[in-house]
Chain A
Amino acid sequence: MSLLRGTFGWVLIVSFVGVAQAALESTLQPLRSPELAVTVFPVSVPTSVPAGPAGRLQLTVHGADHPGIVSAMTRVIADRGGNITDLSTRLAGGLYVIVAEFELPDEADVSSLDAQLRQVAGSVGVTAHLAPVDSDVL
């Protein structure tokens, strides 16, 4: 879920047994209003794609909030064939924070990606830090 400039949004993936999409739509219909948009659509189970040798990576970005930060940083990842698997944003007191987890294809050059992310971050006036995602083995 995310809260940006007073607008709240979230994505929920659910599975039901014996409930059609139309029935779920009908149940949620009373929630819809000019202030609240609700959309229901089927999600296919993705084929599991193992992460490349780079494993899972985490990008943290923070700086003064302004339009274009998310698009600039995620474009770098997308251009390298990266797949963003989780992303959250926070804004408070003028400080904007993005934390994105993503996977890269086998042939990806992580060090050059790191350099490019820092360069692009600087060009949009924010700070970026790339690190491997910990395995939680303590």
Chain B
Amino acid sequence: MSATGPIRLPALPIGRVLPVVTAPSGVLANPCRPADPLDPAVAQLAADLLATMRQSPGCVGLAANQVGVDLRVFALDVSRHPKTRVHHGEFVLVNAVVEAASRNERAREGCMSVPDFTGDVKRATRLTVRGLLPASGEELTITTDAFEARALQHEIDHTDGYLFLDRVAGAHAVHPRQVYL
């Protein structure tokens, strides 16, 4: 099924706010295992990712291995970001893969698991992703652009064991994160 507009998630358990793993960490550097969307533990994981993401200022996406679980699951919500155009609200995807990507653009990225750096990364701004919803296992295809496309690629990279640092565009594309007091 192709998703148009905000995705309606199945009912999930109450989520817990979990600590976020920071690099260097082996769980962030290795490809994650496929997950069973119908496993109750995956439904709990989805709820935990949503709760942790909502509790973290500025966080628009969170992958399972960022909370120490090496499964191909991530939560995403770019609906309130100023660079967002098309978006699908708040959702969790299991075993997501990129089906089509085009129109590359370079932009600055950060990550909760790399708190001290940002980086210039070239990513597609037109994207189609296919994945499964937790709890129901329903297959979903999402076509999107701009910031949501970037965020999806960033999170799918996490499930493949990559950080944005592995995608930076050149020897001078890593920057110290600016903290404004």
- The residues in B between 80 and 136 inclusive whose CB is less than 8 angstroms from any CB of A are 103-106, 114-117, 122
A59 nearest CB neighbor, chain B only: B171
> How many B residues face the partner with a CB closer than 8 A?
26
Docked-complex contact A93 and B171, CB < 8 angstroms: no
Specify which chain B residues have a CB less than 8 angstroms from the CB of A101 in the assembled complex: 170-171
**Contact among B23, B122, B166, B167 for A95, CB-based, below 8 A:** B23
With A64-B24, A93-B116, A95-B117 as contacts: A88 and B174 at CB distance below 8 Å: yes
Specify which chain B residues have a CB less than 8 angstroms from the CB of A134 in the assembled complex: 122, 169
A84 nearest CB neighbor, chain B only: B171
CA separation between A63 and B163, bound complex, in Å?
11
**Contact among B23, B103, B173 for A62, CB-based, below 8 A:** B23
**Contact among A60, A62, A90, A138 for B176, CB-based, below 8 A:** A90
Interface stretch (choices A15-23, A32-40, A125-133): A125-133
| B168 beta carbon closer than 8 Å to chain A | yes
**Contact among A60, A63, A126, A138 for B168, CB-based, below 8 A:** A60
| B29 beta carbon closer than 8 Å to chain A | yes
**Contact among A58, A86, A93, A133 for B22, CB-based, below 8 A:** A93
Docked-complex contact A88 and B24, CB < 8 angstroms: no
Specify which chain A residues have a CB less than 8 angstroms from the CB of B105 in the assembled complex: 138
Docked-complex contact B165 and A62, CB < 8 angstroms: yes
CA separation between A97 and B165, bound complex, in Å?
8
- The residues in A between 25 and 67 inclusive whose CB is less than 8 angstroms from any CB of B are 58, 60, 62-64
| A99 beta carbon closer than 8 Å to chain B | yes
| A4 beta carbon closer than 8 Å to chain B | no
Docked-complex contact B166 and A94, CB < 8 angstroms: no
Where the two chains meet, the residues of A that have a C-beta atom closer than 8 Å to any C-beta of B are 58, 60, 62-64, 86-88, 90, 92-95, 97, 99-101, 126-127, 129, 131, 133-134, 138
Where the two chains meet, the residues of B that have a C-beta atom closer than 8 Å to any C-beta of A are 22-24, 29, 103-106, 114-117, 122, 162-163, 165-174, 176
**What 6 additional pairs, Cβ within 8 angstroms, besides A90-B176, A127-B29, A134-B169?**
A58-B171, A64-B24, A87-B171, A97-B174, A138-B104, A138-B106
